[in-house]
Amino acid sequence: MDDTTTLTFSLPPQPDSLLSPQDIEALSECALRSLLEDHRKALDHIDDIWSTLRQSLNLIRVRREEYQNQRRLLLARTTPMNLLPNEVLAAIFAYVVHTYEWDPVALWKDLTHVCQRWRRIAQNATKVTEGKALTLDNQNYE
């Protein structure tokens, strides 16, 4: 099933009425076999429709997840913090390390567990040490 599949189908006709046990007993062997064959064909047709619908629903679910994931990425990109250039965010990290009396290990965890971008910036542009020194592009903020 491709992306442009349009679902069109027709259900088999609904049985006029359910046969009572007495009506079934009164059917001739030929009528019974004919009715059984009609029901088998109708059930096969319904099963085919059901299979197509399941495939379509799965495709719709996957497509919805793709759009949700893309939307999450787009929304994350528009938050004010994500509008800051990496260099500015790295400078903020340096300021925080220099200004506040935090445990360096706890600070490293705090900086690198916010989001992937912060982790990448903290790992690539900063180095938090026990002496609370942070080196950023050959600048030392001690």
Is the whole-model pTM more than 0.75?
A: no
Looking at the structure of the chain, the number of domains it has is: 2
Domain that holds residue 67: 21-78
Q: Is 13 exposed, middle or buried (0-12, 13-18, 19+ CB in 10 A)?
A: exposed
Mean of the pLDDT values across residues 105-117? 83
Mean of the pLDDT values across residues 10-22? 79
| 3 assigned to some structural domain | no
Cβ–Cβ under 8 Å, residues 128 and 100? no
Angstrom distances, CA of residue 49 to CA of 32, 38, 42, 43, 134: 26, 17, 11, 10, 64
pLDDT in tens, 59-103: 999 999 999 999 998 888 788 877 888 888 888 887 887 777 777
87/121 same-domain check: yes
97/115 same-domain check: yes
pLDDT in tens, 50-60: 999 999 999 99
